[in-house]
Copies of this chain bind each other. A is one copy, B any other.
């Protein structure tokens, strides 16, 4: 087989294997959690011996870090792509929310959920790195919310926490057959949006 054909659109085998491991780990971490997943579980999922994993990753933590990083990359990419064509600040935030929900619940379920649900303090040596990844990703939402044309009395801080909480909690209730992510995002954003446009306050 000519090398050209092999190279056409396919990663070389070794990288493939690393990816298989990452996929399996993401799936298992998502399903059972980091601590409840063993190296043997991951190895079994890709038909490998547990010791062989260490050729590709130097520790269990490193796998988590890789899944985390990849999760942030994927969800971030989706959000960026969704935001880019929009110009209206609210439309941008809604698009970002839909993309976030979509990644978390559908497109990149395993990777994204691991990143959202695994608390940095759970992983012994890499807590700080996980926190950084989270912070960098959440900065996207911070910027989108900073761009909203809001009356000065609106607390952008709690608006952000509310939206992110609402979005991230979706992993608890979201079911594949339910409303599409865009529908959910629209509902969430509408709720937040009223406040701005009418400016009224409750005592």
- Residue ranges of A at the interface with B (Cβ–Cβ < 8 Å): 31-33, 35-36, 90, 117, 119, 121-122, 155, 158-159, 161-170, 172-173, 184, 186-188, 190-195, 197-198, 200-202
Residues of B close to A195: CB separation below 8 A? 190-191, 194
Contacts of A168 in B (CB 8 A): 165, 169
Q: Collect the chain B residues with CB atoms within 8 Å of residue A172's CB.
A: 119, 165
Q: Say whether A159 contacts B121, CB under 8 Å.
A: no
Chain B residues positioned under 8 Å from A163 (CB to CB): 166
Query: 10 other contacts beyond A36-B122, A162-B188, A190-B202, with CB at 8 A cut-off?
Result: A32-B122, A33-B122, A158-B184, A158-B188, A163-B166, A164-B169, A166-B166, A169-B169, A191-B191, A198-B198
CB distance from A154 to the nearest CB of B (A): 9
**Is B35 a contact partner of A158 (Cβ separation < 8 A)?**
no
The docked-state distance in angstroms from the alpha carbon of A200 to that of B186 is 12
* A155 CB contacts on chain B under 8 angstroms: 187
Task: Offer 30 A-B interface pairs, CB within 8 angstroms, sorted by A.
Answer: A31-B121, A32-B121, A32-B122, A33-B33, A33-B35, A33-B122, A35-B36, A117-B119, A158-B187, A158-B188, A159-B191, A161-B166, A162-B166, A162-B187, A163-B166, A164-B169, A165-B166, A168-B169, A190-B195, A190-B200, A190-B201, A191-B191, A191-B192, A193-B202, A194-B194, A194-B195, A194-B200, A197-B201, A197-B202, A198-B200
